[in-house]
Amino acid sequence: MASVIVVGTQWGDEGKGKIVDLLTQYADLVVRFQGGNNAGHTLVVDGEKYVFHLIPSGILYEDKLCLIGNGVVLDPAILMEELDHLSSRGKPVSPERLKISLNTHLIMPYHKALDHASEAVKSEGKKIGTTGRGIGPCYRDKVGRSGIKVADLLDNELFRDKLRENVKEKNFLLTDLFGASPLDEDEIYAQYQDYAEALEPYADNISGLIDNARKDGKNILFEGAQGTQLDIDHGTYPFVTSSNTVAGGACCGAGVGPSKIDYVIGICKAYTTRVGSGPFPTELFDDTGNHLQQKGGEFGATTGRKRRCGWLDGVVLKDAVRINGLDGLAITKLDVMSGLDPVKICTKYDVHGSGYKTMPANIRLVEAARPVYHEVPGWREDIAGCKAVEELPKAAQDYVRAIEDMAQVPLAILSVGPGREQTIMLKNPFE
């Protein structure tokens, strides 16, 4: 029996979906614990591509239970869409296979409207480049104690009451502050009554289900969304998302005590990407950046935006090792680096003449950070078919060892292509 947390070590899109799908074969339960449909987790199974935003990436295994924890913010419209989409591809999901916490907060139409409106009024340089899914406004209501949970939706009177108060407040903000259109309370009410009916069979006590599963000796996999540098506390604030994306978030966001976690695996793309605005010290604007963007197919899985690309950042990686307490690393997309020579790894930042080995807390210092690089030889060979580390060209092996050395965390999984089978597993986190 073991509980394993998967987290992103960078700015998201590290390949968490692929690794979660792969590890699900050893798990009994797969749990999302934060974020919402700002996430886009891609799986390629038997050549078929699936992208999940809300439903845990373990859902393709029919004998596993997928859970959505209290820390997630859930847009019922998107959940319905994902369920319908899976049905249409011959993978229907019954309420026996998917459970949603009664404490999960709901994304409401006014959250999405506020997300768009507040971004629209920000000047260039201040825009966060959110996914526009209502994530920040929903978490703001949760922390401000005016949010609406699944349990509230299932209590008709309570829901109507909370909705009335919220719509009054949000319409004031939308019209008077942002100059946007107001929303209709009755329309939202009617729409969410349908959602209440649809959601009810899935609603449950997730913390309790996990506890029972643990007592029955089951393996549990926690699926992080976003990445460490997008964490609300530890990331490049304010250019972050609104949840705790780090491993500690799994405990709060699923209702599990920290003593019950056995292993934390950090997913690290062999280079770095970022989507949305905010500082990115190793960003490349040259042919190498284009190589990574094109060969890596670096387009957002949620918004379709082009991802910004750059060299691997050791400052980011070492912060992730510390903040998440990483036990092992999964390095992904190493195949994308074929054809680059030399290859660079950022070891520290130079900020106005001072050396920084951890991410500065002041965003203006991050913006001023100049990467200091360590250069290593690259390789030209296609490695997408490699089945063992020893089959990689020597330069690729050395690059992987350099990442391990820098992180001081052992490599557990190496991914050399998007497919489930294009993976080299050195250590099974559940064993």
Contact call for residue 417 and ligand GDP (CB under 6 A): yes
> What are the tokens at 71?
């820390």
Query: Which residue in the set 24, 57, 118, 130 belongs to the binding site for ligand IMO (CB under 6 A)?
Result: 130
Task: Please report whether residue 44 would count as binding ligand GDP according to CB under 6 A.
Answer: yes
Task: State yes or no: residue 40 binds Mg ion (CB under 5 A).
Answer: yes
Shortest Cβ distance from residue 64 to ligand IMO (Å)?
A: 20
Q: How far is the CB of 234 from ligand GDP (least distance, A)?
A: 18
Site for Mg ion in 46-85 (CB under 5 A): none
User: Which structure tokens are listed for 168?
Assistant: 């009054």
Do 403 and 329 form a contact (C-beta atoms < 8 A)? yes
Which one, 162 or 333, has the nearer CB to ligand GDP?
333
Among 68, 225, 337, 396, binds ligand IMO (CB under 6 A): 225
Amino acid identity, position 330: A
From residue 236 to residue 255, the character string flagging contacts with ligand IMO as x (rule: CB under 6 A) and all else as - is -----xx-------------
CA separation for the pair 284, 296 (Å, rounded): 14
DSSP character string of 25-41: TT-SEEEE-SB-TT--E
Q: Which residue has the tokens 């990115």?
A: 280
* Residue keyed to tokens 């509980």: 3
Out of ligand IMO, ligand GDP, Mg ion, none, what residue 219 binds, judged by CB under 5 to 8 A for its kind, is: none
Q: Which one of 153, 183, 199, 301 is in contact with Mg ion (CB under 5 A)?
A: 301
- Min dist. Cβ of residue 86 to ligand GDP (A): 17
Q: Are 57 and 21 in contact (CB under 8 A)?
A: yes
Chain centroid to CA 246 = 10
Site residues (CB under 5 A) for Mg ion, limited to 232-261: none
Regarding 301 and contact with ligand GDP (CB under 6 A), the answer is yes
How many CA atoms, within 13 angstroms, populate the side-chain half-sphere of residue 208?
Answer: 8
Among 2, 13, 38, 167, contact with Mg ion (rule: CB under 5 A): 13
Among 5, 23, 100, 135, binds ligand IMO (CB under 6 A): 135
Q: Which partner, ligand IMO, Mg ion, ligand GDP, none, binds residue 336 by CB below 5 to 8 Å per kind? A: ligand GDP
Phi, psi values for residue 324, rounded to 5° = -95, -10
Closer CB to ligand GDP, 181 or 294, in the complex: 294
φ, ψ of residue 120 in degrees (nearest 5)? -60, -35
Site string for ligand GDP, 359-398 (x = CB under 6 A): ----------------------------------------
# binding residues, Mg ion (CB under 5 A): 3
Question: How far is the C-alpha of 252 from the C-alpha of 153, rounded, in Å?
Answer: 22
CB 28 within 8 A of CB 213: yes
Give CA separation, 168 vs 122, 172, 184, 211, 362, in Å: 24, 6, 10, 40, 37
Shortest CA distance to 426 belongs to which of 330, 322, 313?
330
Strand partners, 101: 204
A 10 A CB-CB count for 196 gives 17
Six-digit token string for 375? 């250069």
Report which residue's Cβ sits closest to ligand IMO: 276
Give min distance, CB of 70 to ligand GDP, in A: 21
Q: Is 38 in the site for ligand IMO (CB under 6 A)?
A: yes
Q: For residue 326, what are the CA distances in angstroms to 330, 410, 411, 427? A: 11, 9, 11, 14
Show the site string, 2-41: x = touches ligand GDP by CB under 6 A, - = not: ------x---xxxxxxx---------------------xx
Q: Residue 127 gets which letter from DSSP?
A: -
Residues assigned a catalytic role? 13, 41
- Under the rule (CB under 6 A), what is the footprint of ligand IMO? 8, 11-13, 38-41, 128-131, 133, 135-136, 225-227, 230, 241-242, 275-276, 301
- Under the rule (CB under 6 A), what is the footprint of ligand GDP? 8, 12-18, 40-42, 44, 297, 301, 332-333, 335-336, 415-418
- Under the rule (CB under 5 A), what is the footprint of Mg ion? 13, 40, 301
